[in-house]
Amino acid sequence: MAVKKSSKSILLKLSLLLFCFSLLSSALAITPGTGDGYSINGRVKIPSLGAKGFGLPGKLSNVKVILNGAQRVTFLKHDGYFSFHNVPTGTHLIEVAANGYFFSPVRVDVSARNPGKVQAALTENRRGLTELVLEPLREEQYYEIREPFSIMSLVKSPMGLMMGFMLIMVFLMPKLVENMDPEEMKRAQEGVPSLANMLPGTARS
Amino acid sequence: MAIRVFLPLLLLFLSSSHLAFSLYEDQVGLMDWHQQYIGKVKHAVFHTQKAGRKRVVVSTEENVIASLDLRRGEIFWRHVLGADDAIDEIDIALGKYVITLSSGGSILRAWNLPDGQMVWESFLSGSKPSKSLLFIPTNLKVDKDNVILVYGNGCLHVISSIDGEVLWKKDLTAEGIDVQQLIHPLGSDIIYAVGLSGLSQFDACQINAKNGELLKHESATFPSGFSGEILSVSSDTFVASDATQSVLVLINVRDSGISFQQTFISDLVQDFSGTAVVLPSKLTGIFSIKTNAFIVFIKVTDEGKLEVVDKIDHGATVSDALSFLEDQQAFALIQHGDNKIQLTVKQGHDWSNDLLKEGIEMDQQRGLVHKVFINNYIRTDRSYGFRALIVMEDHSLLLVQQGEIVWSREDGLASVIDVTTSELPVEKHGVSVAKVEQNLFEWLKGHVLKLKGTLMLASPDEIAEIQKIRLKSSEKSKMTRDHNGFRKLLIVLTRAGKLFALHTGDGRVVWSRLLHSLRKSEGCDYPNGLNIYQWQIPHHHALDENPSVLVVGRCGCSLDAPGVLSIVDAYTGKELNHLGAVHSIVQVIPLPFTDSTEQRLHLLIDADQHAHLYPRTHEALGIFQREFANIYWYSVEADNGIIRGHVLKDNCILEVADEYCFSTRDLWSIVLPSESEKIVATVTRKSNEVVHTQAKVMAEHDVMYKYVSKNLLFVATVAPKAIGGIGLVTPEESWLIVYLIDTVTGRILHRMTHHGSQGPVHAVFSENWVVYHHFNLKAHRYEMSVIEIYDQSRADNKDVWKLVLGKHNLTSPVSSYSRPEVVTKSQSYYFTHTVKNIAVTSTAKGITSKQLLIGTIGDQVLALDKRFLDPRRTVNPTQAEKEEGIIPLTDSLPIIPQSYVTHALKVEGLRGIVTVPAKLESTTLVFTYGVDLFFTRLAPSRTYDSLTEDFSYALLLITIVVLLVAIFVTWILSERKELQEKWR
């Protein structure tokens, strides 16, 4: 539902743009450019940008769009649009390098037969794109989250285990010994020669 | 019994450790450091008019555009453009946009000055490459838009500075003009373009700024021809030198036509001989020429006469003109003295009057001044002051104001060529370490704070305190060797020919030295550094000597250019020895032999296939003669597709006898068919890599023997058509062939073809495996492939009885000449990103499992366990294989964000990854360089041999205390109980 909404809003914006600049109407498409190549126009959309803490204005400016593995590098305008000019026909690869987001590379077919039509697909999941709007597949969290203090984590730590074991020995063992049948106890004591009996001088009776 | 219960629990705890390298956010900066640089500044534009932050916008040779704080030199924002997107010119338009012209005048971009956001981008097409010019007229409006004039690729473009729209374009190639200067007189609607067509015709055009109409085109031929650029002295007067470079030509463009006026330089300058070059500058009424001995300033008088105003020493640097007040112009001049530089700011029209004259103390290691940019400010007493931004020979950037260096940036470190490491000195007896150790109370306090932190009980203030204690730990930046081998010196060679020693603890510069051998000199015009090698690593008996490194360079770019060598002390940076302009250096082979002072023997191969031995001592020669027959090496001619193996033959036959020079002969050669294969990558194992065991134990107690040889070479070739990069070939006409070649015999051990794949290929070779990254055109995705090579001849040594009876062949020597029976296994996986570089972790003993360090296109470094690239992975591993740690096969390699070594940082312009083993087996040191530098410590299998950084000693102490108390209390209780029993 939400996805639908956002795509609708793009269309709306697009139609608005159509009114405003005739130049931008060709956005999100492949157009025959001046000279011998074509132009690839597209847009990078990062939905949560701005909503989150690091949605500072500097953030979008650090996004790079890369054509064919660093053959060409371009940057985003403030509205997320980018374009490559003078691109020859063939199948190309566009990557987006944005810190904190994982983008799938996009294969883009530029052919002389049907200019103006986008033939693009995400290479990660082979999903086709009807227009060249690139969105991150997921956010990247570079740090482990420190789990808040819990008794379990303390108990699970080696020292916690050690302490737990000691506690068991100190408090539970006497209880167990107490609950034992006195006769059985005697038998057990007889079976094992007491350490105290073996030491000279300490023997009491 | 207690132990039996406890052990599994402990094991359970240990095994829960994570697969990947991971970091908590508050651990940033504990063992890593990150430094940001920009590179050698080409252009600088100041932005100081308005109130608020004063800044300077610079573009550099590393294709960086950056905005720097003028007060401290910090980076406000920075962009690294693509590798072939070199910046031609920069300027500021409308007071708020930074304009950059790049890619040979074909891409024009505007960046928002405060935050560096790109505002617009224009692609300017043209017909043929030409000089590119960017000119922003102060007050020229077309349709109410302030415009930008760009000349590039033979066309003149007028572009709106609001949105980058090309208003009009005029192709001047039709007229045959190569424009050199654009002039726009204030207030007029006419643009003047002057240039040359051919070598001897001078052209002047008048173009209507509104629509690009060519109003007037005049040309005149100067019979003896021009050389170099045409300089504008005023709006109608130009200067050039003629083809012989001994005559200055003054060109006047008037309504009546173009007139030339020649002046012999020898008439102006008395002791002139040879040639002179007109220096490019933007001054009015004055220009400078550079002769072999002097820089001569020449004034053009109103009557059109040339007049020498001053003659200064060769090494001076002149800035462009700066307009201040209404009609005044100033420029800066820097001359060198002993240990200082002399900054003079002169007024454009009045030579005798200096606006400013300052002497500034300058570190000798910064070399000469290469560039200077000036800016003015108004002092408190309303007079004009000047500040100068100076670019030095070592690429550092300095801001000078009032005779002081306000700030400096070591931007040479943005262009690292090669890296090596050196151990720090051993801690000597008598050296007090008392001030490092804190007293017990503080130590305990620190640990209690840490404990609070781990229990999440600390207040924000305390957390800040903890972070400060952790980051400031003086332990890590000490100048002595440590037990774990974490502290080392990184010796870094930069493109400027400067050597830096960086401390691994905090990244500070311990020493830096501009090498003599890599400075421009009489015999060597364009020296460039190539590599650093470890020359001397003192061990037991030579411990009193300092370690030293060998720096190898070359005069010029061609392979047969004479080489230069320097030996530098790694502790002090002193240049112990330097040899200038020796034989050419094509290849440097560090030999595995050292002499009695632990100097490593090196074999340098020159372009004539002669081998030269260093160090040139009799002792070294003696050692070398003993091993004469055992030295093999190979060479790769990538252009011709030939790989050759070489051995030594005899002493050289030269005119001058040289006993350290040896002739060589070819042992074998592999010629690849040039019509179907082109070499794109070759890689071998690191010579200092340690392999712990040759045997690999498989599931079901099976053993495989790794084929571990130092003489294996991995070669990747692609179809010649596929060399150009992605997007140009179809899968049918592209293939990638990989080879494993023994470099002693030239035997091809393995050959494999990937159909429909192409380069670029990045590969890494370690132990008995190669991992390489390439592009699969069919799936249109990148792939990473692994090849593992096993020795089959040892495979039947599994029988215990054979081992007992000594009938095994395990002790038989490994020789390249015994034809090995090898088995290879290989597998491929998809990988998402483009890769810039691949390295592998290396540890002291080679026991710790390996991780691949992948430098991605996003300038991050990803650590990927080698276990993911194991050819034995299957979709459904058996139970036994699972126990062995084989991961079920997936079609693509996982990218776990937590396993980025660089975490949230970027190493802009990443070029290299270097790993160095620490003394602690579990740990390896990683240094990544590009425009930025990044260093960290990695433990590919977690730190199993030491306690982690956040180990809480306080918790241990408290546990012990609690246990003691408990023992005491229970003892008292039991005593009391016993007493009661007795009374009963």
Is the domain of A174 the same as that of A94?
A: no
pLDDT at B8: 39
* A86–chain B Cβ distance below 8 A for any pair: yes
pLDDT tens digits, A129-148: 888 888 888 888 888 887 76
Is the domain of A107 the same as that of A128?
A: yes
* C-alpha of B365 from chain center: 20
In a domain, A205, yes or no: no
**Burial category of A205 from C-beta neighbours within 10 Å (exposed 0-12, middle 13-18, buried 19 and up):** exposed
* A161–chain B Cβ distance below 8 A for any pair: yes
d(C-alpha A127, C-alpha B138), whole Å: 50
pLDDT at B302: 76
What is the token pair recorded at A56?
Answer: 């500072």
- Spell out which residues of chain B touch residue A69, defining contact as CB-CB under 8 Å: 725-726, 760, 775, 834, 857
d(C-alpha A120, C-alpha B971), whole Å: 78
Closest by Cβ to A77, choosing from B9, B120, B780: B120
pLDDT at B799: 61
In a domain, A68, yes or no: yes
Kindly determine whether residue B456 and residue A71, on different chains, have CB atoms separated by under 8 Å: no
In a domain, A131, yes or no: yes
* B723–chain A Cβ distance below 8 A for any pair: no
Average pLDDT of B551-563?
Answer: 86
Is the domain of A173 the same as that of A83?
A: no
Kindly determine whether residue A61 and residue B77, on different chains, have CB atoms separated by under 8 Å: yes
Q: Give the confidence band of B480 by pLDDT, cuts at 50, 70, 90.
A: confident
Angstroms from B82 CA to nearest CA on chain A: 5
Kindly determine whether residue B456 and residue A148, on different chains, have CB atoms separated by under 8 Å: yes
d(C-alpha B188, C-alpha B169), whole Å: 19
In a domain, A107, yes or no: yes
pLDDT tens digits, B508-521: 899 999 988 888 87
Rounded to whole angstroms, what are the CA distances from B148 to B138, B182, B188, B210?
Answer: 10, 12, 15, 12
In a domain, A58, yes or no: yes
Best to test chain B binding among A84, A91, A163 (most B CBs inside 10 Å) = A91
Q: Give the confidence band of B940 by pLDDT, cuts at 50, 70, 90.
A: confident
Is the domain of A114 the same as that of A165?
A: no
pLDDT at B252: 85
User: Which positions 117-136 of A are in contact with B (Cβ < 8 Å)?
Assistant: 123-124
Is the domain of A59 the same as that of A135?
A: yes
d(C-alpha B282, C-alpha B612), whole Å: 50
Does position B705 have pLDDT exceeding 90, yes or no? no
Is the domain of A97 the same as that of A181?
A: no
Contact B824, B790 (CB under 8 A): yes
The Cβ of residue B355 has, within 10 Å, a number of other Cβ atoms equal to 20
The domain boundary, picked from A98, A114, A139, lies at A139
Kindly determine whether residue B727 and residue A91, on different chains, have CB atoms separated by under 8 Å: yes
Average pLDDT value over all residues in chain B: 84
In a domain, A202, yes or no: no
pLDDT at B984: 80
Closest chain A residue to the Cα of B862, Cα to Cα: A142
Phi-psi region of B931 (alpha: psi -120 to 50; beta: other; left: phi over 0): alpha
Alpha-carbon Rg for chain B in angstroms: 34
pLDDT tens digits, B295-354: 888 888 877 788 888 888 777 888 887 877 667 788 888 888 878 888 888 887 777 778
Regarding predicted confidence, which is higher, B689 or B442?
Answer: B689
Within 13 Å, how many C-alpha atoms sit on residue B324's CB side? 21
In a domain, A169, yes or no: yes
Which range of residues forms the domain containing residue A184? 151-193
Best to test chain A binding among B11, B112, B121 (most A CBs inside 10 Å) = B121
Is the domain of A67 the same as that of A163?
A: no
Is the domain of A128 the same as that of A31?
A: yes
pLDDT tens digits, B611-644: 999 888 999 999 999 988 889 999 999 889 999 9
pLDDT tens digits, A193-203: 555 555 554 44
d(C-alpha B58, C-alpha B77), whole Å: 11
Does position B804 have pLDDT exceeding 80, yes or no? no
- The pair phi, psi for residue B515, each rounded to 5°, is -75, 135
pLDDT at B913: 95
Reported as type and span, the H/E element at residue B330 is strand B328-336
Is the domain of A63 the same as that of A158?
A: no
Closest chain A residue to the Cα of B903, Cα to Cα: A142
pLDDT at B775: 92
In a domain, A203, yes or no: no
| CATH classification of the domain holding A118 | 2.60.40.1120
Share of chain B above pLDDT 70, in %: 92
Q: Give the confidence band of A58 by pLDDT, cuts at 50, 70, 90.
A: very low
Does position B964 have pLDDT exceeding 90, yes or no? yes
d(C-alpha A80, C-alpha B50), whole Å: 30
pLDDT tens digits, B431-476: 433 344 556 777 777 777 777 776 667 777 877 777 777 666 667 7
Is the domain of A98 the same as that of A78?
A: yes
The Cβ of residue B61 has, within 10 Å, a number of other Cβ atoms equal to 17
* A76–chain B Cβ distance below 8 A for any pair: yes
- The pair phi, psi for residue B873, each rounded to 5°, is -65, 135
Q: What ipTM goes with this model?
A: 0.84
pLDDT at B3: 39
Is the domain of A89 the same as that of A45?
A: yes
Is the domain of A175 the same as that of A114?
A: no
d(C-alpha B178, C-alpha B896), whole Å: 54
pLDDT at B391: 93
- Which has the minimum average pLDDT: B33-42, B609-618, B686-695? B686-695
Q: Looking at the 3D structure of chain A, how many domains does it have?
A: 2
Average pLDDT of B561-573?
Answer: 89
Which one of A42-56, B802-816, B943-957 scores highest in mean pLDDT?
Answer: B943-957
